Amino acid sequence: MYLAGAAGIAVKTFRPNQAPKYTLPASLACSAVALCLHGLMLYQYLFVADGLDLGFFNTFSLLGWLVTVFVLLSALYRPLENLLLILLPFAALTLSLKILFPEQRILSESLTLGLQIHILLSISAYSLLMISALQAMLVAFQERLIATKQVTKIINVLPPLQVMEQLLIQFIAIGFFMLSLSLASGLMFIEDFFAQHLIHKTVLSILAWFIYGILLCGRWLAGWRGKRITRWALGGFITLLFAYMGTKFVLELILNRV
């Protein structure tokens, strides 16, 4: 259903004259049903008898689901349907990987409320900043087409560049706020950086926070636009990618540690 929704949006985007009027609503509805089914499966995978399962592929699938939920809801009142062309297959991929590789990392039911809030904030921040990275890639692609005088190829595919940049900054600002709360709450639970295998994750997360902070200051105080924004946005997300999923991948799948 994810792939069917993506196929319908692709037809509506690239062949608008041949697509029936109901193509986009039907595709969004199909995507919404897929998200509901994915959510039910995630509930079964995450909440197990021994506690909360936040293994690598479970977390990856949860991120794919959250990102797609955010964009699908935003697409109801903003021109973001084209992001779903990337995100719907991505969500299908994350779910498929979880099914193919059913590893587990069980967190005890005795987790404190504060730690549960920290985990929720971290995943939400990462999801929003992942959306901003995808948006930054679209902005960079749009600028390249404009620079090479291929504007006609994007008129029916993407919103105006100014709108795309505004959406990018909005996603980054909300994600930066969530990341700030995540870092602040996470520092309360650190007892030993090395024993808890948190040194790399913490340092890279703080570095990403500084990168996004500089980006927002540059935008609001110096009027940054274009390539400068997209480069900083992608740099911040790559740093965050290594901090969260990179560290998790190395510890759980390579070193087999929890």
- Region 221-228: what's the mean pLDDT? 89
Reported as a single tens digit per residue, the pLDDT across 31-83 is 999 999 999 998 888 877 776 777 778 888 888 898 899 888 888 877 778 78
Task: Judge if 3 and 70 occupy the same domain.
Answer: yes
Phi, psi angles (nearest 5°) of residue 194: -80, -45
Comparing 219 with 47, which gets the higher pLDDT?
219
pLDDT on residue 111: 63
CB contact at 8 A, 185 and 114: yes
pLDDT at 250: 53
Lowest mean pLDDT among 77-91, 103-117, 235-249: 103-117
pLDDT at 98: 85
Indicate whether 192 pLDDT > 60.
no
Name the residue with higher pLDDT: 18 or 9: 9
* Domain count along the chain: 2
Exposure b/e, 202-219, CB count within 10 A at least 16 = b: bebbebbbebbeebbeeb
Nearest to 207 by CA among 237, 170, 229: 237
Among the residue ranges 60-64, 216-220, 225-229, 242-246, the one predicted with the least confidence is 242-246
> 59 with 248: CB under 8 angstroms?
yes
**Do 15 and 133 reside in the same domain of the chain?**
no
pLDDT at residue number 113: 67
Choosing from 110, 140, 169, the residue where a domain stops is: 110
52, β-bridge pairs: 47, 107
- Give pLDDT, residue 195: 43
pLDDT interval class at 194 (50, 70, 90): very low
pTM: 0.74
SS3 of residue 47 by DSSP = strand
Position 208 pLDDT exceeds 80: yes
Q: Are 172 and 129 in contact (CB under 8 A)?
A: yes
Q: Is 111 helix (H, G, I), strand (E, B) or coil?
A: coil
**For residue 198, what pLDDT band results from cuts at 50, 70 and 90?**
low
Q: Which of 78, 110, 142 finishes a domain? A: 110
- Position 40 scores a pLDDT of 94
Residue 161 binned pLDDT confidence (cut-offs 50, 70, 90): confident
**Which domain, by its residues, includes 58?**
1-110
Residue 5 shares a structural domain with residue 18? yes
Contact assessment for residue 189 and residue 201, using Cβ atoms and an 8 Å cutoff = no
CB–CB of 132/167 below 8 Å? no
Compute the distance between CA of residue 117 and CA of residue 183 in angstroms, rounded to an integer: 12
Q: Are residues 127 and 98 in the same domain?
A: no
Q: 């994600």: which residue's tokens?
A: 175
Report the chain's mean pLDDT, rounded to a whole number: 81
- Residue 52 is classified by DSSP as E
* C-alpha–C-alpha distance, residues 55 and 249, integer Å: 9
For the stretch 10-19, pLDDT in tens is 888 777 777 7
Pick the last residue of a domain from 58, 92, 110: 110
Going by the DSSP 8-state scheme, the letter that residue 255 receives in this structure is S
Cα distances from 100 to residues 18, 95, 236, 248, in angstroms, run 37, 9, 31, 18
Same domain as 161, residue 68:
no
